Structure 1
Amino acid sequence: MSEQRDYFEEVYEVVRLIPRGRVTNYGTIARYLSLRSGARMVGWAMNGCHNRPDIPAHRVVNSVGVLSGKNFFGGPTIMQQLLEDEGVQIKDDRVIDFKKLFWDPSVELAI
């Protein structure tokens, strides 16, 4: 019998590593974890964890820096406020300097 992967927990482990003031996207996490369902699987994981303070879900945005998951935080401005509290500037629901603040686990966690 093979051991079944817990994809959501693997996603959460990566999200916990995103530094304060940095962001990443769904697809990058999926590629890092070699998830077959890709960004969609990461999105489902993120949708289910917004009430878990140990997972900084607000640091995961879409591929161009838009706060696409903002409606899952219990209010339309909570995700933005959490990011701004960490020094991330947002304008029109988009991370300013997205490329500069982007965190890639395959680069940052390389041995």
Structure 2
Amino acid sequence: MEFKDRLRFLRKNCVKNGKHVTQEDLGKILGYKYTSISNYESGRNEPCIRDIIKIANFFEVSTDYLLCVNEDGDDESRKNRLFELCASFSEEEKEKIISILLSIRSMMDKSKNRGK
């Protein structure tokens, strides 16, 4: 995966204020028109370091993740892989998964308390 693909993936799977982030939305964050984001996503242009940091902060990911660096097994990489997996589910599926995870967390907490 390249930066352009990662940026497109993040933008298309990001929901802010109840709606998916558009190229225009992201352009406003950076102080550009949507065409700049379109050019980033197509690979025609690449952002400067300052904008890479802004984009990473906006999507709450590391710059390494955004730039497709160090994707082996570190904690940040696992968090980002989990984000990608979760983004692939529908909103209804996400709610079910959250419910399941909360149940698992509760069972694990009870199990820990019994062991004390």
Same fold (TM over 0.5): no
Alignment TM-score, normalising by the size of structure 1? 0.26
Higher relative contact order by CA 8 Å / sep ≥ 6: 1 or 2?
A: 1
Alignment TM-score, normalising by the size of structure 2? 0.26
Q: Which protein has the larger Cα radius of gyration, Structure 1 or Structure 2?
A: 2
